Structures are given as C-alpha cells and as structure tokens.
Amino acid sequence: MSAPTLSTSDKPVQPPHHGPPPEARREAFVRSVRRNLSAHSFLIGAVLCFAFFSWYPMVREFLLAFQKTEGGKTTWVGLDNLDYVFHDPAFWQAWRNTLLFTALALLLGFLVPFVIAIVINEFRHAQGYLRLLVYLPVMLPPVASVLLFKYFYDPGYGLFNGVLHFLHLPEQQWLQSTSTAMLSVVIAATWMNMGGATLIYLAALQGIPGELYEAAELDGAGLLRKIWHVTIPQTRLILSLLLLMQIIATMQVFTEPFLLTNGAGPEGSTTTVVYLIYQYAFNFNNYGGAAALGLVLLVLLAGFSAAYVRLSRDSES
C-alpha cells in the first residue's frame, strides 16, 4: 500500500491575509524584542510594579465588594455589601456632604483661579512674580497648610475670630458649626489648590491671539464683553477639561475634612464618601462595605473620566 500523497489541489487552502505570514511576524516580534531588550526589561519592571501595586489591588477591591470575611472564611455574598452600604445611616449624609463640597469647591475653586488668572494676565509687569505668589501655597505640604487653617479657624485662639473681635463683629464658629463647617473646609482647600489651576488658566489665556482682543476693542467692547466674547470661547476647551478634573478630584476629597474637622465635623456635617470608606475599612474592619462604597464612587467617577477622555481627544484633534 502506498503512502497517500497530497496533490497540490489537496493542500488546505490558506485563507487570504494581508501582511507577512505568522512565522515571519513571530520572528519580527522576537527580533524587535531582542533589539529593544533593555527597554523591555525596564518595561517589565514598571509592569510588575503596576500589576502588584495598582492593578491587583483594583481587581481585589472589585472582588471584595461582593465578598464577606467572617471567621477567616471568605464567602461570596452578591449584593449584600451594597445593600449594607445603602442602608447605612451615614451613606446619604456622606453623599450630600460630598456633593455640597463639590458644588462649593467648583464655585470657588473654579471661579477664583480663573478670575485671578485674568487679572494677572492683564498686568504688563511683574507677571512672573505674581505667578510665583499664587503658586506658593501649592508648594506647602498639604498637612502644613491644613494645620495653618486649623489655627486660623480656632474659635478660641484663631486668627479669623481675632480679626472679627478687633472689628467688633460677632465671632464665628467656623469649623464647629453645621452651617459653616463645609464652607470653611472649601475655603481652605481652594486656597491650597488654586495655584495649579491659575497657572493652567494663565497659559490658556496667553495662547489667545492678541488680534482678537484688538478687534474686539475696535468694536467698542469693554473688559466684561472681551471676557465674554473672546476669553471664554477661546478657553472653552481647557475650562471644560479643568472642570471635569476638578469634579473628579473634589468628589474624592479626604485630606482637608479629615485634618480640619477630624473627619466627621459637627453632627457629621463634613463626613465625605471617601472618609466613610476609610471608616469602613479601618475603624469597622468592614472591607466588603468599603469596597462596595468604593465601587459606587468608581462607577460615578468613571462617567466623568470617560467625558474627560473624550474631551482630551477633542482637544488633541
């Protein structure tokens, strides 16, 4: 019996494909890896670090949100942790506080740096000096800035009440009153962080061609009309990007209320969502609850992040 032979027509038909065959591609890949071995080795280090310290915790956090650990046994509990979180009396209060912080922080933290940037931009001299002055608070360690404000706000010995007392005005409770605590936190946070935003606005303002202002002036536009018809449209994109970035950052606020009001504030008026996550994890040992609340926050922020990415792409194009 003769061995079967394959005629040319019997050969399996290779599906048509574009580019080099797989072997060649593999070889090209191996060659490319060899050629850039040092670069790849550095890359592996970075990838390992990200994998261990960023990606793994993220995956673990996601899993934890649906698990419960009791008696050393981890069990799958489905949506129980979310149910727990939604029924926590502090949950809605924390969200209300966080949204209030975000709204106030946007109002102050968005508007104040923009106005300051416009004012600095109008100066013909000493711009560098003014930029430095505005940026200085950012260079202070956050804890030092917060402690400084804690002293300013102190109802007994604080600077602010000292000034009010000097002016024969009624003293305020600042951080110790449910009506002013969050606003006081926002003022401190705005002061600490406005330097960076101001510089970005300033860069955007300086990118606006001078001819546009000149044309507006020729048309008889005053300062406000110039801002409305030239400055804002020209910086629209950067304004939108910063707005989104600030929403994402302010919704994760933790440091300022944690240090200024010991986390919760009077009657829980400064408890934020991230502080509540911290409490679940480290005060109540409820990792499932912490992960579930983290997930809720993540979903919300992911929406803003997607918008941010889209806007960034638009700005690149």
Partner 1 sequence: MRSTWFRPTHRRTTAAALVSALALTALAACGTSSSDDSKGSGGGSSDPSAPLDPKTKVTLTMDCMPPAAKAAELREWKEDVKEFNKKYPNVTIQGRSTPGQCEEPTRFTAALKGRSQPDVFYTYFTDLQQVLDNNGAEDISAYVNEKTVPALGSIDPNVTNVLKKDGKLYGLPTSNYTMGLMINRKLFKQAGLDPNQPPTTWEDVRKDAKAIAGLGKGISGYGDYSATNQGGWHFTAEMYGLGGDVVTPDGKKAAFNDAIGKKVLSNLKSMRWDDDSMGKTQLLKWGDLQKQISTDKLGMFLAAPDDLTYMVQQLGAKFEDYGMGPIPGGRATLFGGNDYMIKKGSSPDKIKAAIAWDNYKNLTPGKGQFDWARQKTDALPVGLPQPNFWTGGIKATDLQARTDSATMPVENFKPFMGNPIKGKAEPAKAQEIYKVLDNAMSGVLTNKNANVDKLLSTAEQQVNQVLANQ
Residues at the contact surface with partner 1, assessed by CB under 8 A: 34, 37-38, 40-42, 44-45, 48-49, 52, 69-73, 84, 87-90, 154-157, 173, 175-178, 261-268, 279, 281-285, 287
Provide the minimum distance between the beta carbon of 71 and partner 1 in the complex, in angstroms, as a whole number. 6
- CB closer to partner 1, 94 vs 297: 94
Q: In the bound complex, what is the minimum distance in angstroms from residue 139's beta carbon to partner 1?
A: 28
Angle at 169 between CA 168 and CA 174, to 5 degrees: 135
* Closer of 17 and 87 to partner 1 (Cβ): 87
Interacting residues of 290 by C-beta distance below 8 A, sequence separation 6+? 64, 277, 278, 280, 281
| 206 versus 262: smaller Cβ distance to partner 1 | 262
Question: What is the spatial distance between Cα 317 and Cα 302, in angstroms, rounded to a whole number?
Answer: 22
155/196 with CB nearer partner 1: 155
Closest CB 84 distance from partner 1, rounded Å: 6
Shortest Å distance, C-beta 311 to partner 1: 35
Long-range contacts of 235-240 (CB under 8 A, 24+ apart): 235/201, 235/204, 235/205, 235/208, 237/311, 237/314, 237/315, 238/200, 238/201, 238/204, 238/315, 239/114, 239/201, 239/204, 240/311
Comparing CB distances to partner 1, the nearer of 206 and 285 is: 285
Q: Which is nearer to partner 1, 137 or 266 (CB)?
A: 266
AA identity, residue 88: D
Nearest distance in Å: CB 244, partner 1: 32
* CB of residue 192 to partner 1, shortest distance in Å: 20
Least CB distance from residue 300 to partner 1, whole Å? 22
Sign of the CA dihedral running 101, 107, 111, 116:
negative
- Hey, which residues does 73 pair with through a beta bridge? 70
Report CA dihedral (130, 132, 134, 140) to the nearest 10 degrees. -160
Report the residue number, 51 or 306, with the smaller CB distance to partner 1.
51
